[in-house]
Amino acid sequence: MTSDYKTIVRDGLWDNNGVLSMLLGMCPTMAMTTSATNGLGMGLATAAVMAASSFLVALFRRLISQEVRIPVFVLIVASMVTLVDLAMNAWMHALYKVLGLFIPLIVSNCLPLARLEAFAAKSKALPALVDGLFMGLGFTLALTLIGAVREILGSGTLFANASLLLGPPFKAMELRILPANMGVLMMILPPGGFLVTGLLVVVKRLFDLRAGKEIRMSGAHCAA
Amino acid sequence: MNSAPPPLPVAPKPRTLLHGVILGGFCLGFGSLLAVTARVTKQDIALRAMEDRQASLSQVIPDGIHDNNLLRDTVTIKDAHDRAVTVYLARMKGRLAALAYPISGTGYGGKIKLMLGVDTGGRILGVRVLSHHETPGMGDKIEVGKSNWILRFTGLSIGNPPLHLWKVKKDGGQFDDFAGATITPRAVVLAIRNGLEFFAANKARLTGGKP
């Protein structure tokens, strides 16, 4: 692993994207991408938790012995999730009412754990923070994309209710692409999640092939 | 046959204790962090929950028709299924003006919780969904933020429309269902009808008696 920030950023957002390349974090990906707004919300909450837990693990990496590293990582991720959950409930209540549903689900995502094991445990604190953040933002990008495709095909809208998540100025983002009742219901239901995710993985590879990149297929060892 | 078993390889000195201490240390550290956070946020979270309740009450009972604090003026009575229901009483200068109470129905994804506000004549002042687990994009049109479907109940009562029309159109009633979702609106209509019947059954107790 290099600590060159540019590579970290590009890896996180595209080259080694958590969902589209590594196929990690499938549980929240399937559950939360019924609309672009939901995908965005879940992604941002995950990015915050990933940045914080990666930073902490890298900071304490000399203290954490090999044998107990996994329980310690789980402990740190779960603590960060609970911390974010409590703090948002108390002080960002409007946002919590929209995102609150997603936050406990972050624990079921194995992408944070994978990054702690593969990167943060061997890295200095600052690069780990950047890696956690951009892996999280890459996750956000993938979830928003999947959500957008499913929402357009399934409900005919794009970024519906985005103003509930981002605030009233973002009302202009809420678009209607297809007339109401033209949506294909299946796209919002679970099968649509698998179909769209699969197709987007293919699209990403076609892009990479055209750009002459070698296909990186890591991960898939944990698909929770 | 009787040869002695080979001596067991000498295990490297176990450092189990050290690992236990490390893990325990982290548990203690993060556990205390969470305990402190829980303590710091407890009051604010309770306050937010109260504000939420207040907000949902003020959506079903207009602020202008009462001058008391609904959260402080409650009475608990048993419904037809022997469950305790907390009824919030809205009074104007001590006179009962309206009542609100939580109702619930079983939708496609589980329990749908609502808050129903009625005046002393049993007419609906407002009804809102508090929580539900319906399919996003389909059943969630019962939320006032997503569709104005729930607003059509305002002003209705048992008898307006007649009881046999308190159903979704698909079942021969007068309320629209949404494309792709019948179970959700059916559950909401039934919950509201049951809620009104609950008021009718307890009207004497709720409106009489106290000042």
Residues of A in contact with B136 (CB under 8 A): 34-35, 38, 188
- Whether residues B37 and A82 touch (CB distance < 8 A) is answered with yes
Confidence check: pLDDT of B49 > 50: yes
Angle between helices A36-59 and A110-118 in degrees, nearest 10: 30
Residue ranges per structural domain of chain A: 29-210
**Nearest to residue A4, comparing CAs of A134, A112, A116?**
A134
| Three-state DSSP string of B92-112 | ECCEEEEEEEEEEEECCCCEE
User: pLDDT for B118-145, tens place per residue?
Assistant: 999 899 999 999 888 887 667 888 988 7
Q: What is the pLDDT of residue A218?
A: 52
Residues of A in contact with B30 (CB under 8 A): 75-76, 79
For residue A58, count other CB atoms closer than 10 A to its CB.
Answer: 23
Confidence check: pLDDT of B193 > 80: yes
Q: Compute the average pLDDT of residues A20-45.
A: 88
| Three-state DSSP string of A189-215 | CHHHHHHHHHHHHHHHHHHHHHCCCCC
Amino acid at A224: A
Count contacts between A and B (CB, < 8 Å): 75
Asked whether A46 and A136 are in contact (CB, 8 A), the reply is yes
User: pLDDT for B158-168, tens place per residue?
Assistant: 888 888 899 99
- Whether residues B45 and A89 touch (CB distance < 8 A) is answered with yes
**B27 Cβ under 8 Å from any chain A Cβ:** yes
Q: What is the pLDDT of residue B125?
A: 94
**Residue B112 binned pLDDT confidence (cut-offs 50, 70, 90):** very high
Q: Compute the average pLDDT of residues B27-37.
A: 96
Q: What is the pLDDT of residue A220?
A: 44
Separation CA A29–CA A27 (nearest Å): 5
Q: What is the pLDDT of residue B211?
A: 41
Asked whether A27 and A108 are in contact (CB, 8 A), the reply is yes
**Nearest to residue B99, comparing CAs of B64, B157, B60, B63?**
B60
Residue ranges per structural domain of chain B: 61-207
- By Cβ distance, the residue of B22, B38, B136 closest to A188 is B136
Separation CA A83–CA A90 (nearest Å): 11
**What is the torsional sign of CA A138, A26, B145, B125?**
negative
- Whether residues A93 and B26 touch (CB distance < 8 A) is answered with no
User: pLDDT for A68-117, tens place per residue?
Assistant: 999 999 999 999 999 989 988 888 887 787 777 778 888 888 899 999 99
Q: Which of A20-24, A172-176, A193-197 has the lowest mean pLDDT?
A: A172-176
Q: CA distances (Å), A127 to each of A1, A78, B149, B174, B209, in order?
A: 10, 22, 50, 62, 70
Residues of B in contact with A161 (CB under 8 A): 145-146
DSSP letter assigned to residue B84: E
Confidence check: pLDDT of A223 > 50: no
Q: What is the pLDDT of residue A193?
A: 93
Q: CA distances (Å), A102 to each of A25, A40, A107, B114, in order?
A: 13, 11, 10, 22
**Residue A164 binned pLDDT confidence (cut-offs 50, 70, 90):** confident
What distance in Å separates residue B88's CA from the closest CA in chain A?
24
Confidence check: pLDDT of B9 > 80: no
Using a CB–CB cut-off of 8 Å, the residues of A that contact B are 34-35, 38, 60, 63-65, 67-68, 71-72, 75-76, 79, 82-83, 86-87, 89-91, 93, 151, 154-155, 160-161, 164, 180-181, 183, 185, 188-189
**B35 Cβ under 8 Å from any chain A Cβ:** no
| pTM for this model (two decimals) | 0.75
Q: What is the pLDDT of residue B128?
A: 93
The length of chain B, given as a count of residues? 211
Q: What is the pLDDT of residue A3?
A: 52
Task: Give yes or no for a cis peptide into B161 (omega within 30° of 0).
Answer: yes
**Residue A221 binned pLDDT confidence (cut-offs 50, 70, 90):** very low
Q: Please give the biggest Cα pair distance in chain A.
A: 58
Would you state the structure tokens that stand for residue A76, as one six-digit string?
């740190």
Confidence check: pLDDT of A222 > 80: no
Separation CA A170–CA B36 (nearest Å): 36
**Nearest to residue A77, comparing CAs of A141, A25, A7?**
A25
The SS3 of residue B130 is: strand
Confidence check: pLDDT of B25 > 70: yes
Number of H helices, E strands in chain B: 2, 5
User: pLDDT for A176-219, tens place per residue?
Assistant: 888 776 778 788 888 999 999 999 999 999 998 888 766 555 54
Residues of B in contact with A180 (CB under 8 A): 179
Q: What is the pLDDT of residue B10?
A: 64
